[in-house]
Structure 1
Amino acid sequence: MATADQIKSLIRSYSEEDRERFYSIALQVAAHEAKQGHATLAHEIRALVDNHKKRAQQGLKVVPFPQELKGLVVSDMPDIPLQSLVAPQATLERFRRTIKEFYQRGKLHKYGLSNRRRILLAGPPGTGKTMSARVLAHELKLPLYTVQVDRLVTKFMGETSAKLRQIFDIMEQKQGIYFFDEFDAIGGDRSMDNDVGEMRRVLNALLQFIEQDQSDSIIVAATNNPKLLDQALFRRFDDVLYYSLPDEEERKHLIEIIMGTFLASKFAWNKVLSSSADLSQAEIGSACRDAIKDAVLHDKSKVTASELISTLDQRKQVYTQL
């Protein structure tokens, strides 16, 4: 049967409405039962998890985009709660404010005010910008529409602006979170020497579309380098959130979330936190999952600090080869 730690973690994650962790722990229980020779029970647990995920997504269907935008916009229904987002408290509070304003937007409208609808996320790769968009979609119970900005920009004059107009027109029809990653590809500074006339027209069109947008959708844009963005864009956003590499407390919280019941009871936190310094949230998450995979493949239920440090060091070695 499930261990005491797993049972407590299941109850805790359920009470905190942390679905992702609840599913993860339930699947850990299934794996434990399978190793004990209880294959039927393991299969039933996995089936229950799969069915619950499907029911959770049935409440809101993701409507496909028109054929002419196929490949430019990816539709998804994320299932990641705010508790899974590791970021400074100030950033989390601003996310909560955006969520609160969305659900009470009717109250704001009575006073001639509008809820935050345009959010700019800026920071190094792997620090949680994309995950933030997914979390926001889940918390607002809206579909996530990710605009593939690299595919949006074409060599044909006028085509990029035309496709942008289509996307903004659809925002009126299909409420959702519209996520523009690598936003600087279309929002670059017009004063830069290497700028070309066509991209200036694209930016001018983008500024106009954002200004005129009156939909109920949320626009989330992300950039790894905010210095590349045209200054006029910043005034179009209701909030700008800056991301950075996680501090020691955030790294510990992230590791605890991902490792779950795989975390050994006696864990050398000082050494692990030292080894995880200078790594992004995404890199630490990958190292944790690598350590869990190794444990599963070696029929182990716990991951020691030294084993996690090994996978963290593997992530760091990538940069030494550059």
Structure 2
Amino acid sequence: MEGRLLATAAHVRALVESHHAGDDATFRAALAELVEAAGRLGDRSREVEELRKLLGVRRAATRPQAPAPPPPPTSVVQPRGELGRVLSVSLPRATLADLALGSDVMTRLHRVLTEQRHADTLRARGFDPLRKLLLTGQPGTGKSTTVEVLAAELALPVFSVRLDVFADLTAEDAVAKLSLVFDLLAQSRGVCVFEDVDTLIDPDGGERSRPRLRDVLRAFTGHLEADTSNSLLVVTTNRAQLVERPVLRRFDTVIDYPLPSAGVVHEVVLRRLRGFDLSAVEWPRVVSTASGLSHEQVSAAATLAAKQCVLDGTDQVETAALLAALRERRQMLKMAP
């Protein structure tokens, strides 16, 4: 059976059940996992390539069914005064189609969106929707883009809170500004992201006072636990191992963002090079060279290869150009402190 597509019972069951349930999101996730599993086994048969094409068609032609969100506001007013230094507001336009993530992460994000869209139904039966999320993973793996997508899909603004600024304030000033942020969330529904909570933990010490940071972190987690607004609260960290259990228990769910798998690398490059001729690309070599790089780094390498095509006056992306761009990104990582 070498060189032929082998579907496991789990794959077949997921495909059949999601098809009968009309759950296109889960169907696509199961199909993507099947194709990825085949790729890991080195299967490049005609059946696998046809499934790749089918997956691309379904992704382009369909979207998860959900109630139509209300139109988002056309503009926002940026905070001033006490909040202006620590908080900014934006109206993202990203969609689920902009995310290239593993099937497990995508399935969990679909669950968050589904519960948010049916929050009233859940509350009527005594349940709260998933609302307080901790996103963990290395830089560039899709956490920030996820925040934009969640907000755009729910037609909500993004409130971005700079925790690194809080880390440099006096404890009294930081606690006062945190109160202002959470007061705003109680009045204006949105997706509020607190980026890099590890800046409040500060494991390396430096010039910051650990006791002062502990006071700020304690105030932050207290507000997080007490918050009963309708806003979606998202906290991100690049170093999940530093987040202690008393902080973890404040969240409804923790979603880990791993480095891209072979299938996700393929998807990231396809999306970034949409409109270019990729018929000459040797995907196994590209995927192997991209191993260990983040989504952001793979996308940046694909962008570099695309620009080279434009400068050369061609639409065909060569394998050598992609490999060179990926190696350049890897070299940049080695140079970083």
Which residue of structure 2 lines up, in the alignment, with residue 294 of structure 1?
A: 308
Which residue of structure 1 lines up, in the alignment, with residue 231 of structure 2?
A: 217
Question: How far apart, in 2, do the equivalents of 1:88 and 1:58 lie?
Answer: 28
The answer to whether the aligner puts 1:143 opposite 2:157 as a matched pair is: yes
Which residue of structure 1 lines up, in the alignment, with residue 111 of structure 2?
A: 97
Deviation of 1:83 (Å): 2.2
Question: How far apart, in 2, do the equivalents of 1:273 and 1:308 lie?
Answer: 10
> Which one of the candidate residues 249, 252, 258 is aligned to 2:266?
252
**Any unmatched runs of 5+ in structure 1?**
1-10, 19-55
- The answer on whether the counterparts of 2:72 and 2:155 sit within 8 Å (CA) in structure 1 is no
- The answer on whether the counterparts of 1:126 and 1:283 sit within 8 Å (CA) in structure 2 is yes
The answer to whether the aligner puts 1:170 opposite 2:184 as a matched pair is: yes
The answer to whether the aligner puts 1:133 opposite 2:133 as a matched pair is: no
The answer to whether the aligner puts 1:64 opposite 2:78 as a matched pair is: yes
Question: How far apart, in 2, do the equivalents of 1:317 and 1:208 lie?
Answer: 42
Which residue of structure 2 lines up, in the alignment, with residue 310 of structure 1?
A: 324
Change in Cα spacing, 1:85 to 1:111, as seen in structure 2 (3 Å) is same
Question: How far apart, in 2, do the equivalents of 1:222 and 1:87 lie?
Answer: 16
> Which one of the candidate residues 84, 97, 121 is aligned to 1:83?
97
**Any unmatched runs of 5+ in structure 2?**
1-56, 65-69
Q: Which stretches of structure 1, 4 residues or longer, exceed 3 Å deviation after superposition?
A: 11-18, 56-61, 319-322
- The answer on whether the counterparts of 1:76 and 1:145 sit within 8 Å (CA) in structure 2 is yes
Structure 1, residues 218-255: CA drift from partner, whole Å, max 9, x if none? Answer: 11011011111231111110010011111111111111
Deviation of 1:187 (Å): 5.3
Change in Cα spacing, 1:104 to 1:262, as seen in structure 2 (3 Å) is same
Cα-Cα RMSD: 2.3
Q: 3-state DSSP class of the match of 1:262?
A: coil
Greater Cα shift, 167-176 or 300-309? 300-309
TM-score, length of structure 1 as denominator length: 0.78
- The answer on whether the counterparts of 1:261 and 1:302 sit within 8 Å (CA) in structure 2 is no
Deviation of 1:57 (Å): 8.0
Question: How far apart, in 1, do the equivalents of 2:255 and 2:277 lie?
Answer: 32
Change in Cα spacing, 1:102 to 1:208, as seen in structure 2 (3 Å) is same
> Which one of the candidate residues 290, 298, 319 is aligned to 1:276?
290
Which residue of structure 2 lines up, in the alignment, with residue 74 of structure 1?
A: 88
Question: How far apart, in 2, do the equivalents of 1:58 and 1:198 lie?
Answer: 39
Q: 3-state DSSP class of the match of 1:135?
A: helix
Which residue of structure 1 lines up, in the alignment, with residue 125 of structure 2?
A: 111
Question: How far apart, in 2, do the equivalents of 1:246 and 1:72 lie?
Answer: 32
Q: 3-state DSSP class of the match of 2:274?
A: helix
Deviation of 1:184 (Å): 1.6
Which residue of structure 2 lines up, in the alignment, with residue 27 of structure 1?
A: none
Which residue of structure 2 lines up, in the alignment, with residue 236 of structure 1?
A: 250
Change in Cα spacing, 1:113 to 1:261, as seen in structure 2 (3 Å) is same
Question: How far apart, in 2, do the equivalents of 1:102 and 1:279 lie?
Answer: 32
- The answer on whether the counterparts of 2:186 and 2:229 sit within 8 Å (CA) in structure 1 is yes
Identical positions, percent: 28
Which residue of structure 1 lines up, in the alignment, with residue 27 of structure 2?
A: none
- The answer on whether the counterparts of 1:119 and 1:237 sit within 8 Å (CA) in structure 2 is yes
- The answer on whether the counterparts of 2:171 and 2:215 sit within 8 Å (CA) in structure 1 is no
Change in Cα spacing, 1:155 to 1:102, as seen in structure 2 (3 Å) is closer
For this pair of structures, how many residues does the alignment match? Answer: 271
